[in-house]
Structure 1
Amino acid sequence: MHTHHKSYQPYVSPFDPCKPMIEKTYSTPPHLYIGFQPPNLPQFTPMEALRAGTLWKAFYDPWYGPYEKKNWGVPS
């Protein structure tokens, strides 16, 4: 199983006047890991689908700002 949230450690220069960022994270879209859409994928309820922006749970990919609480579950 692939994870949609990845991280890496960038180069930190000893001469950089700013505080270094030790780890950077990014998100990859879920459709990169699904070739053809398989039949019978789990679906959100209609109201949840409107909030999530997709009907299928496998294609749900929320975006959170750096200071927001991360809730990786079903949209509320």
Structure 2
Amino acid sequence: MTSQAPKNSEERVYSVYAGPFDPCPPVTCKTYVVPPHLFLGFQPPNLPQFNLPEALRLGTLWPALYSPYTPQIRGGN
């Protein structure tokens, strides 16, 4: 079982079971992203805020809730 290191603290890696009779080559590790709001619990008062243009570009007003999205390049279409 080989596991790859997560790119950021919100990314999790898990191993996938590959049966002996699977018709396709196995994908040994898959990743998923855990959203940052799950770790916040509640919104504390006086959180720092992005300025308006930056908040619109990033999709959130608060830096504590920002999670970068980096698409993975996969084979095929």
Q: Secondary structure at the match of 1:61?
A: coil
Structural RMSD (CA): 1.8
Structure 1 counterpart of 2:27, one-letter code? M
Shift of 1:34: 0.7
Q: Percent identity?
A: 55
Runs of 4+ displaced beyond 3 Å: none
Structure 2, unaligned runs of 5 or more: 1-8
Structure 2 counterpart of 1:41, one-letter code? L
Structure 1 segment 1-76 matched on structure 2, within 5 A: 3-67=9-73
| TM-score when normalising by structure 1 | 0.72
Q: Secondary structure at the match of 2:13?
A: strand
Give the greater-gyration-radius structure (CA). Answer: 2
| TM-score when normalising by structure 2 | 0.71
Paired residues, number: 66
Shift of 1:64: 2.8
